[in-house]
């Protein structure tokens, strides 16, 4: 079974600075998908960014980018120019490539605080 580990329960960053959230995973599969979800105080789960494991190029979405290291099974999220609205719980998630259950396996989350 796949597992996802987020070793930083809490992080904080000064507004306008850059922060990196860590995520490692364990899998025996060669093809899979990785996601970062944001959960603000409203509790809504919002997709931030996603990465296909067979693509070597790191995904980027505006101020959000990932550092995907397949051999190391690492998938960190970098937030540039942090804004107050980025304050949230961030979850890393894994999904198998195979047809069938689209189950997301989540990490335990990192709570990000933005310091004005």
Partner 1 sequence: EAQVTQNPRYLITVTGKKLTVTCSQNMNHEYMSWYRQDPGLGLRQIYYSMNVEVTDKGDVPEGYKVSRKEKRNFPLILESPSPNQTSLYFCASSPDGAGGYNEQFFGPGTRLTVL
Q: Which stretch binds partner 1 (CB under 8 A): 16-24, 68-76, 78-86, 93-101?
A: 93-101
CA distance 46 to 35: 10
Decide: is 97 part of the binding site for partner 1 (CB under 8 A). yes
Using the rule CB under 8 A, which residue among 36, 87, 107, 112 binds partner 1? 107
The secondary structure of 21-73 as a DSSP string is E--EEE-S-SSEEEEEEEE-TT---EEEEEEETT--SPPEETTEEEEEETTTT
Decide: is 70 part of the binding site for partner 1 (CB under 8 A). no
Using the rule CB under 8 A, which residue among 83, 103, 113, 115 binds partner 1? 103
What is the gyration radius of the CA atoms in the chain, in angstroms?
A: 14
Applying the rule CB under 8 A, the residues between 6 and 35 that interact with partner 1 are 33
Q: How many of the chain's residues bind partner 1 (CB under 8 A)?
A: 24
Decide: is 96 part of the binding site for partner 1 (CB under 8 A). yes
Q: Is there a contact between 22 and 74 (Cβ–Cβ < 8 Å)?
A: yes
């Amino acid at each position: 079974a796949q597992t996802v580990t987020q070793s930083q329960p809490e992080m904080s960053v000064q507004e306008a600075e850059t922060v990196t959230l860590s995520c490692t995973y364990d899998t025996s599969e060669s093809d899979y998908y990785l996601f970062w979800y944001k959960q603000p105080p409203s509790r809504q789960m919002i997709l931030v960014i996603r990465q296909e494991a067979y693509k070597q190029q790191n995904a980027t979405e505006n101020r959000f980018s990932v550092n995907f290291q397949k051999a190391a099974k690492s998938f960190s999220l970098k937030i540039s120019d942090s804004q107050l609205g980025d304050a949230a719980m961030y979850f890393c998630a894994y999904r198998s490539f195979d047809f069938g259950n689209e189950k997301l396996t989540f990490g335990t989350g990192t709570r990000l605080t933005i310091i004005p």
